[in-house]
């Protein structure tokens, strides 16, 4: 049995003061929901404030990105050890990082190796663009992203990886995929790619989330699918009621 997993990706939203307000407003409600791993991913600048409010709450904290090197002359970057001081999780290879900041599968892979080294649980994002979707390349794209991104970690670490299937055309568009379609991609493309790398047992142990326009209204459709283990939520994770509703529906 895979424990359901829901993470809120705040993206570049909320100042430190706004983070305090939002975390305070949701944490008491989220604490009451058991049986699901819950993670908030505010911007770097807000992590310390969120950390102070979440300590001992059972709600995890994640970064939205990090560099793969341990330290050095990388102006503007944040090292894995710095993330680890505050966070248990890190989102890697989000499609916005791939599209706007040139992240390749090789870069995602280096970051995954750094996550392993520093004991961070990585949430690795994969997913096809609209153009790739329309030209029937979904299988090829998510298989490649999964194989190249996830390769090369230890057999012990592999089951800890969380994968988020996020079709790019569904992110922030209000045009979510369907539960059934997401389940097919996860079951037939993503898990087999993981099985190639780490065997069937690991492929069945790894949590695979759906992401892309998940709301309180459509979350149940995704969670009812056998191979969808939770959600990576963007816009709706900034709304207390919506996010609490999504988390409470994810329970097994
Ligand atoms: P969205 O974003 O829920 O706003 O579509 C999801 C994501 O980018 O992780």
Tell me the mean pLDDT per 10 residues along the chain, length 252.
97 98 98 97 98 97 98 98 98 98 98 98 98 98 98 97 98 96 98 98 98 97 98 98 97 68
Confidence at residue 33, expressed as pLDDT on a 0 to 100 scale? 96
For residue 170, the ligand 1 atom closest to its alpha carbon is 5
Report the alpha-carbon distance of residue 47 to residue 20 in Å, rounded: 10
The CA 215 to ligand 1 mean position distance, Å, reads 10
SS3 225: coil
Ligand 1: residue of 217, 222, 235, 236 to mutate (most ligand atoms within 8 A of CB) is 235
Q: What is the pLDDT of residue 221?
A: 97
Residue 21 confidence (pLDDT): 98
Tokens of 127: 């997913």
Q: Which domains does the chain have, with CATH numbers?
A: 5-249 (3.20.20.70)
- The single residue listed with the structure tokens 């991609």 is 185
Query: In this predicted structure, what is the pLDDT of residue 252?
Result: 61
Res 178: pLDDT: 97
CA of 171 to the centre of ligand 1 (A): 5
Q: Which residues contact residue 119 at a Cβ distance below 8 angstroms, ignoring those fewer than 6 apart?
A: 84
């Amino acid at each position: 049995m895979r424990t359901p997993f829901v993470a809120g990706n705040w993206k570049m939203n909320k100042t430190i003061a706004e983070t305090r307000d939002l975390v305070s407003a949701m944490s008491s409600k989220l604490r009451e929901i058991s049986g699901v791993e819950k993670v908030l991913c505010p911007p770097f600048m807000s992590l310390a404030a969120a950390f102070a409010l979440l300590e001992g709450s059972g709600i995890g904290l994640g970064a939205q990105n990090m560099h793969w090197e341990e330290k050095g002359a990388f102006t503007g970057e944040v090292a894995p050890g710095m993330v680890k001081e505050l966070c248990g999780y890190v989102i890697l290879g989000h499609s916005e990082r791939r599209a706007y900041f040139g992240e390749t599968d090789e870069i995602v892979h280096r970051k995954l190796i750094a996550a392993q080294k520093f004991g961070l649980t990585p949430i690795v994002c994969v997913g096809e663009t609209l153009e790739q979707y329309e030209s029937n390349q979904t299988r090829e794209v998510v298989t490649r992203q999964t194989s190249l991104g996830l390769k090369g970690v230890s057999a012990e670490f592999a089951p800890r990886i969380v994968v988020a299937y996020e079709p790019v055309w569904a992110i922030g568009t209000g045009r979510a995929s369907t539960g059934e379609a997401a389940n097919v991609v996860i079951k037939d493309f993503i898990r087999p790619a993981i099985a190639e790398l780490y065997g069937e047992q690991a492929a069945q142990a790894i949590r695979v989330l759906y992401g892309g326009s998940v709301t309180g209204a459509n979350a149940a459709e995704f969670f009812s699918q056998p191979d969808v283990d939770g959600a990576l939520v963007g816009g709706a994770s900034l709304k207390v009621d919506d996010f609490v509703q999504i988390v409470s529906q994810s329970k097994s």
